[in-house]
Structure 1
Amino acid sequence: MTKSEPRESESASRLIDGRIQELGDWRGAMLARLRAVVKAADPEVIEEWKWRGVPVWSHAGILCTGETYKNVVKMTFAKGASLEDPAGLFNSSLEGNTRRAIDFHEGEEIDEPSLKALIQAAVVLNQSKSRK
């Protein structure tokens, strides 16, 4: 990599910026807000762009994704089934053994303190798994 080439995370961050702009509606605004919560919860988070256009946030492994659909912005936690969710944020993908998701709809508020705690718990879980 030369000095003029962007690092992979910088390139991914630009692609996420582009997705937010491209959406141009409540979904873009929601994705931007969720991204800000993730970054506030974990300043060391790495942004990635996977699976042909899905924003991914990682720290010692994937923490969560930010998928946008017609009527929902879905935040999927890769190891969500292993996380405590005392605030009951998980409302989607509840049947699996690994993932859990939160579907955000237009006009919904984000419980930022609880979401930050969930993200931080995901970081701790990833770090504990990577040490083994």
Structure 2
Amino acid sequence: MQESSAQEGKSPSELIDARIKELGDWRGETLARLRALIRQAAPEAVETWKWRGVPVWEDAGMICTGETYKTVVKLTFARGAALPDPARLFNSSLEGNTRRAIDFREDEKINEEALKALVRAAVALNRSKAKR
């Protein structure tokens, strides 16, 4: 498989860097900005690469994934349904009992403080579950 041979020996962070560069458009810029905000909010989070090309951020469990599609960059929070969202960022995958997602579209402004609050809340939830 060509994709796996190109990925051999690269760290997840390097694979995410490559994805951002490969996109080369607003989606790459958006993913890079979201990544920076996640790192600011959760500096101890670990970047992983799963499901043949999905960036994932983890701290005591999965925080969120960063998927890119033709018209959106989607951050899916693994336990989003359990997170406070006073800014009402979640706008996708609202029907499930566990996950919640945010679809970012081209030229859409990111509510950076609210997003960082969601990331911090996800980390706190993961850590509280891990201690049990």
TM-score by length of 2: 0.92
SS in 2 for 1:114: helix
Paired with 2:89 and 2:30, the residues of 1 have a C-alpha distance of 16
User: What's 1:87 paired with?
Assistant: 87
Aligned pair 1:99/2:90, yes or no? no
CA drift at 1:57: 0.3
For residues 72-128 of structure 1, what are the alpha-carbon distances to aligned partners after superposition, in whole Å with 9 as ceiling and x for unaligned?
Answer: 000000000000100000000000000000000000011000000000000000000
Amino acid at match of 2:120: Q
Matched residue SS, 2:11? helix
Task: Give 2:21's aligned amino acid.
Answer: Q
Aligned: 1:23 with 2:23: yes
Amino acid aligned to 2:48: E
> Hey, what does 1:126 align to over in structure 2?
126
- Superposition deviation, residue 39 in structure 1: 0.1
1:22-70 deviation digits (Å, cap 9, x = unpaired): 0000000000000000000011010000000000000000000000000
TM-score (norm. length: structure 1): 0.92
Q: After TM superposition, what 4+ stretches of structure 1 lie above 6 angstroms from structure 2?
A: none
Query: Which ranges in structure 1 are unaligned for 5 or more consecutive residues?
Result: 1-9
Counterpart residue type for residue 38 of structure 1: I
Q: Which residue does 2:13 correspond to in 1?
A: 13
Q: Residue 70 of structure 1 aligns with which residue?
A: 70
RMSD of the TM alignment (CA)? 0.7
**Amino acid of the residue matched to residue 117 of structure 1?**
A
Residue 71 of structure 1 and its aligned partner are, at CA, apart by 0.3
Offset at residue 14 of structure 1 (A): 0.1
Structure 2 CA distance, aligned partners of 1:109 and 1:66? 17
Q: Distance in 1 between matches of 2:43 and 2:75?
A: 18
Task: Give, in angstroms, the shift of residue 16 of structure 1.
Answer: 0.0
